[in-house]
Amino acid sequence: MPGSRTLLLVVEDDRLHADQLRWALGEHYALQFAADRDSGVAALAESAPDLVLLDLCMPPEMSPEAGLAVLRAVRARDPDTPVVVMSALEEREPALRAVEQGAWDFFTKPIDVAALKVVFSRALERQALARENRRLRADLEQRFQVEGIVGASPAMVRVLEAIRRVADSPVTVTIEGESGTGKELVARAIHYSGARRNGPFVAVHCAALPDSLVESELFGHEKGAFTGADAPRVGRFEAARGGTLFLDEIATLPPAVQVKLLRVLEERAVVRLGSNELRPVDIRLVVATNESLEARVARKEFREDLLFRIRGFPILVPPLRERREDIPLLAEHFLRTACERDGRPAKHLDPEARRELTARRWPGNVRELLHAMENLALTVDRETVRPEDLPPPPESLPPLGAMNEAPSDFRTAVLRFERQLLEGAIAREGGVKARAARALGLDPAQMKYLVRKHGLK
């Protein structure tokens, strides 16, 4: 067989149909044929095909069980190998079972060869992306275990490649992306796969800090520096010495703190509040933002010189709507993890549920999908999650003005109104919860409680 051509294993007991496939596909693929369950399984071990076209009904059972047995053997040997199943049966149930067990697609005989070639092409592209994703993850994990980065889309492969490139560099990294896309996860991956992995990883969520405490939190203070400062305090810069300091939502820092942050970055030393002593800090800085820093600079809300100082190596984490092919992978991962954490029986999504999840908007990105899967782990008792089990998408909730049109009990109506009020304020403020809290007249503690209460975290 030609060494550089894609090897396609066709498992088909109908000789006439096998000959037709040989004639239609032989120009594009290196072909190998098997005529029953046992020879199909044996061919897997002998030749390691790149693709498998599999008839469901074949000897010896002459039922879908024979084809499903070969499908399981393919999945056990290499889960990335695309399997397309075909059948002359009119019932949909065997095809759904095959897709549920990992088949890439299903065709009813007689096969449309042109459509089959398109499916093969897409399947091979996805296979290449999945293997590249695994290679990049293995490169990271070889140096330190990185958990939770799931996805085989081109966008996520680029993120993994960026992590690999920058991990050992001392350059400051700016992670950009919408709320809920996993920016802190990327920051942790950079830290734990880099030279500072044995040092501390200190995360600071700038928007959650009251303006009056930001300086003390970041730079520390001496005893008596201000009312209530009863003892010296080590700031986050000093706490991160030898490791990584992650400043999330850096755009929300007050102007006065931006000035001091710029000085710290230039001098590589901090001065605690109430002190004149320079304290050297050896840290790797990673920052994140869910809004355009350039736009903040244009509005004179962020210092341009500070932007130039932190804009060392930008990484863009895509929103979930731009990596839809990752949604089924993430959903299954979150569902499995939640079941394992809660000690509940394993569950999986049926094909229709996966398709519906993939089609949704997910304005809350990965965080919203995570909470949805955690909810399903608790509420679904069956092994298979079906479309009717899925929580309604936020866009399906009635608008605020429709509350009187859809009466419900008082507590449910209040909770719905409260959640929509929060979601609307957060969306208007570009996902920055601190600004949303100020717009609603809430203090940070109240906002934090309500965000957790409604699963918006």
Give residue 428's pLDDT.
74
End residue of a domain, out of 260, 291, 316: 316
Give residue 412's pLDDT.
65
Are the C-beta atoms of 372 and 390 separated by less than 8 Å?
A: yes
Give residue 386's pLDDT.
92
Give residue 2's pLDDT.
39
Number of domains in the chain: 4
Q: Does 350 reside within a domain?
A: yes
Give residue 149's pLDDT.
77
How far, in Å, CA of 99 to CA of 45, rounded?
23
- Residue 150 binned pLDDT confidence (cut-offs 50, 70, 90): confident
Give residue 144's pLDDT.
44
Burial state string for 290-328 with b = 16 or more CB within 10 A and e = fewer than 16: bbebeebbeeeebbeebbeebebeebebbbbeebebbbb
Q: Is the pLDDT of residue 400 over 60?
A: no
Q: What percent of the chain has pLDDT over 90?
A: 38
Q: What integer is the mean pLDDT of 294-321?
A: 93
Give 434 or 156, the one with higher predicted confidence: 156
Write out the residue range of the structural domain in which residue 379 sits.
320-395
Q: Is the pLDDT of residue 222 over 60?
A: yes
The DSSP bridge partners found for residue 174 are 287, 314
65, 76, 98, 243 from 72: Cα distances, Å: 10, 6, 9, 45
CATH number, residue 235: 3.40.50.300
Give the predicted TM-score (pTM) of the model. 0.63
Are the C-beta atoms of 439 and 429 separated by less than 8 Å?
A: yes
> Would you say the C-alpha torsion 48, 49, 53, 58 has a positive or negative sign?
negative
Q: Does 137 reside within a domain?
A: no
Mind listing the pLDDT tens digit for each residue in 105-132?
888 888 888 899 999 998 888 888 777 7
Mind listing the pLDDT tens digit for each residue in 311-331?
889 999 999 999 998 999 899
386, 328: one domain: yes
Q: Is the pLDDT of residue 289 over 80?
A: yes
Mind listing the pLDDT tens digit for each residue in 25-82?
988 899 999 999 899 899 888 888 999 999 988 888 888 898 899 999 998 888 889 9
How far, in Å, CA of 290 to CA of 243, rounded?
24
Q: What integer is the mean pLDDT of 174-199?
A: 91
Q: Does 135 reside within a domain?
A: no
Which of these ranges, 148-152, 249-253, 284-288, has the smallest mean pLDDT?
148-152
22, 78: one domain: yes
CATH number, residue 329: 1.10.8.60
Give 201 or 130, the one with higher predicted confidence: 201
307, 161: one domain: yes
Q: Is the pLDDT of residue 433 over 90?
A: no
107, 199: one domain: no
Q: Does 189 reside within a domain?
A: yes
292, 185: one domain: yes
Q: Does 192 reside within a domain?
A: yes
The DSSP bridge partners found for residue 175 are 288, 315
Distance from the Cα of residue 153 to its chain's centroid:
10
Mind listing the pLDDT tens digit for each residue in 82-96?
999 998 877 778 888
Give residue 456's pLDDT.
76
> Would you say the C-alpha torsion 321, 340, 102, 380 has a positive or negative sign?
negative
Q: Is the pLDDT of residue 165 over 60?
A: yes
Joined tokens for residue 427: 């969306």
179, 95: one domain: no
218, 256: one domain: yes
Q: Does 157 reside within a domain?
A: yes
Q: What integer is the mean pLDDT of 293-299?
A: 91
78, 182: one domain: no
Mind listing the pLDDT tens digit for each residue in 241-259?
999 999 999 999 999 999 9
> Would you say the C-alpha torsion 220, 226, 227, 230 has a positive or negative sign?
positive
End residue of a domain, out of 71, 103, 127: 127
End residue of a domain, out of 316, 347, 362: 316
448, 370: one domain: no
Which of these ranges, 207-216, 273-282, 313-322, has the smallest mean pLDDT?
207-216
Q: Does 76 reside within a domain?
A: yes
| DSSP 8-state symbol, 303 | -
Q: Does 194 reside within a domain?
A: yes
289, 149: one domain: yes
246, 371: one domain: no
Q: What integer is the mean pLDDT of 265-277?
A: 90
Give residue 142's pLDDT.
52
Give residue 243's pLDDT.
94
- Residue 157 binned pLDDT confidence (cut-offs 50, 70, 90): confident
